Amino acid sequence: MRLSGWGRFPWCEARVRSFAQAGEAASFVGREQPFIVRGLGRSYGDSALAQDILLTRRFNHILDFCPSTGALSCEAGVSLDEIIAAFLPRGWFLPVVPGTRFVTVGGAIAGDVHGKNHHSAGCFSSCVRSLVLLLPNGEVRTCSPTDNRDLFTATCGGMGLTGVILAAELALRSVSSSMIEQKVVKARNLAHTLELFEEHGDAEYSVAWVDTLAQGEGSGRSLLILGEHAPGGPLRLAEPKAVTIPSWFPGWLLGRPVAKIFNNLKYSSISANGAQGVVPLHSFFFPLDGLLEWNRLYGRKGFTQYQFVIPKQGGPEGLAAILSRIAGSGLASYLAVLKLFGPANANMLSFPMAGYTLALDFKISSGLPALLHDLDRMVREQGGRLYLAKDARMEPAMLEAGYPGLAEFRDLRRHYGMDTVFSSLQSKRLGV
Ligand SMILES: Cc1cc2nc3c(=O)[nH]c(=O)nc-3n(C[C@H](O)[C@H](O)[C@H](O)COP(=O)(O)OP(=O)(O)OC[C@H]3O[C@@H](n4cnc5c(N)ncnc54)[C@H](O)[C@@H]3O)c2cc1C
């Protein structure tokens, strides 16, 4: 079967199996061929690609729920969409959600994903009370921040390279509404954007859409989107109507001239005084989920999402230099999302650190490798790193420089014999 990540780059011919019982997963682990586990394939690059792949989606039962504390136990193939659909109407929500709800619990843990509230809530692992991990020798261990801590801190953010996450206990949070009070603030340039992030530091959710094509005085202009859970009802799912992008969508449409028009329209759609209102939770957290198969927009060659984080200190100058390099490159990024992260956690390969993170979608093109090579150098010089869940092309030296927990992670893999059993195209490329 021919498979790719969400970016449709790269592709790989894979033998794919799936399991519905823990015993079937254990027998897969006992085979000689190394493999990687795959959830819903929403990682952009090659982290869930290998010649042999084990799918978790059929392993998707809710196991237990406590209506007084919000403690939820489920199998790892359950999606965040299924959790929200089942528990939001009862007044419970996930404390951390990424920009799509079509990811599995296993994928959210393995990527240690973050949301628009990293500054206040940390990564997905902060709501994982424990997880059940299938090891290379077929043993099943329950891991938490206190029990089998080494396995827990390696698995959260470990990109499937420590074992098969079979199940997890999550701490849901209570909410009294399925609506979000949203405020949009307009920023003139990068300095203004960063100033507004500080000014609104107590907002529960914050994220900025940045116009990466703006140059000169307007470089880094953005729309800062802030949100809080609305204090009172309704508690019902208002799913926006989804539109599907056809497979024949011409990728050449998304060139720089169209991006310029799109960015100008988007920026000027908000008045200088900003905008505010109450919006359904789904459109606040998952705006792209209303456009099914939107990854086809970039055409047959696919795209990559380049997401980096650089430390807060020195961040403004670093971001300004990076934005100027992008604007001068002749290439366009339609989706450029800036967030201010809170502190890093203890997990060995978790991506976030206190600083600025920018995620940029780029269509695969001949000029792209040179641009990303330069951005790598700039990110590295700033003491930053790239996000493994988005990566399809990082070089090993970049990983070594950005992830101080890598040596410990490699030692743990060797110690448990994980290095000969769990392997993805990404782990091979990076020599993890
Ligand atoms: C539109 C969109 C928006 C996104 N927004 C964000 C965002 O805001 N923040 C963010 O952090 N990420 C974001 N992502 C990335 C996404 O949240 C992660 O890539 C997530 O890991 C995908 O989960 P999945 O179930 O699709 O896993 P897959 O893509 O299938 O796998 C991802 C990794 O998890 C491992 N894995 C999956 N299941 C298991 C398991 N049961 N046991 C062990 N390992 C496992 C795989 O081996 C692989 O390394 C976004 C992705 C998309 C497409």
Q: What is the mean pLDDT of residues 405-420?
A: 98
pLDDT tens for 221-275 read 999 999 999 998 789 877 667 888 887 877 777 778 888 888 899 999 999 999 9
| Ligand 1 and 40: CB distance under 6 A | yes
Q: What is the mean pLDDT of residues 141-145?
A: 98
Amino acid of residue 203: A
pLDDT tens for 83-120 read 999 999 999 999 999 999 999 999 999 999 999 999 99
| Ligand 1 pocket test target in 79, 81, 103 with most atoms within 8 Å of CB | 103
| Ligand 1 atom with the shortest distance to the CA of 123 | 11
Give the residue, by CA position, lying nearest to ligand 1 atom 7: 98
Local structure of 380: helix, strand or coil? helix
Measure 301 CA to ligand 1 centroid, in angstroms: 21
* Residue 9 near residue 302, CB atoms below 8 Å: yes
pLDDT at residue 356 in the model: 98
| Ligand 1 atom with the shortest distance to the CA of 164 | 42
* Residue 182 near residue 200, CB atoms below 8 Å: no
Max CA separation in the chain (angstroms)? 62
| Ligand 1 and 227: CB distance under 6 A | no
| Ligand 1 and 98: CB distance under 6 A | yes
| Ligand 1 and 160: CB distance under 6 A | yes
Instruction: Give the pLDDT band of residue 307 (cuts 50, 70, 90).
Output: very high
| Ligand 1 and 45: CB distance under 6 A | no
Q: What is the mean pLDDT of residues 331-349?
A: 94
| Res 183 pLDDT > 90 | yes
pLDDT tens for 14-64 read 999 999 999 999 998 988 799 999 999 999 999 999 999 999 999 999 999
* Residue 337 near residue 212, CB atoms below 8 Å: no
Measure 349 CA to ligand 1 centroid, in angstroms: 14
Kindly calculate the radius of gyration of the chain based on its CA atoms and give it in whole angstroms.
Answer: 21
| Ligand 1 and 25: CB distance under 6 A | no
pLDDT at residue 232 in the model: 87
Length of the chain: 432
Instruction: Give the pLDDT band of residue 286 (cuts 50, 70, 90).
Output: very high
Instruction: Give the pLDDT band of residue 386 (cuts 50, 70, 90).
Output: very high
CA–CA distance, 118 with 197 (Å, rounded to integer): 13
Please tell us whether the domain made up of 58-175 is placed in CATH 3.60.21.10: no
Residue 29: CB atoms within 10 A of its CB come to 18
| Ligand 1 and 42: CB distance under 6 A | yes
| Ligand 1 atom with the shortest distance to the CA of 389 | 19
pLDDT at residue 253 in the model: 74
Measure 103 CA to ligand 1 centroid, in angstroms: 6
The pair of three-digit structure tokens given for residue 232, joined into one six-digit string? 């009172």
Measure 107 CA to ligand 1 centroid, in angstroms: 4
pLDDT tens for 147-161 read 999 999 999 999 999
CA–CA distance, 208 with 26 (Å, rounded to integer): 43
Measure 249 CA to ligand 1 centroid, in angstroms: 25
Domains of the chain: which residue ranges? 58-175, 179-394
* Sheet of strand 385-386, all strands in order from the earlier edge strand to the far edge: 275-280, 179-187, 222-229, 205-210, 336-341, 355-363, 303-311, 385-386
pTM of the model: 0.97
Measure 41 CA to ligand 1 centroid, in angstroms: 7
| Res 365 pLDDT > 80 | yes
CA dihedral of residues 267, 273, 279, 283 (deg, nearest 10): 20
Can you state the angle between helices 190-199 and 315-327, rounded to 10 degrees?
A: 140
| Ligand 1 pocket test target in 19, 24, 38 with most atoms within 8 Å of CB | 38
DSSP-assigned states of every residue in 198-267:
HHTTT-SEEEEEE-TT--GGGTT-EEEEEEEE-SS------PPPPEEPPTT--GGGSSHHHHHHHHHHHH
Give the residue, by CA position, lying nearest to ligand 1 atom 18: 43
Q: What is the mean pLDDT of residues 294-303?
A: 88
The pair of three-digit structure tokens given for residue 52, joined into one six-digit string? 């042999």
| Ligand 1 and 124: CB distance under 6 A | no
| Ligand 1 and 342: CB distance under 6 A | no
Instruction: Give the pLDDT band of residue 420 (cuts 50, 70, 90).
Output: very high
| Ligand 1 pocket test target in 17, 19, 43 with most atoms within 8 Å of CB | 43
pLDDT > 90 fraction of the chain, expressed in percent and rounded:
85
pLDDT at residue 210 in the model: 96
Measure 275 CA to ligand 1 centroid, in angstroms: 32
Give the residue, by CA position, lying nearest to ligand 1 atom 27: 107
pLDDT at residue 60 in the model: 98
| Ligand 1 and 288: CB distance under 6 A | yes
Local structure of 124: helix, strand or coil? helix
| Ligand 1 pocket test target in 3, 37, 126 with most atoms within 8 Å of CB | 37
* Residue 310 near residue 379, CB atoms below 8 Å: yes
Give the residue, by CA position, lying nearest to ligand 1 atom 39: 106
**174 φ/ψ angles, rounded to the nearest 5 degrees:** -85, 145
CA dihedral of residues 201, 388, 290, 193 (deg, nearest 10): 30
**CATH architecture of the domain with range 179-394:** 2-Layer Sandwich (3.30)
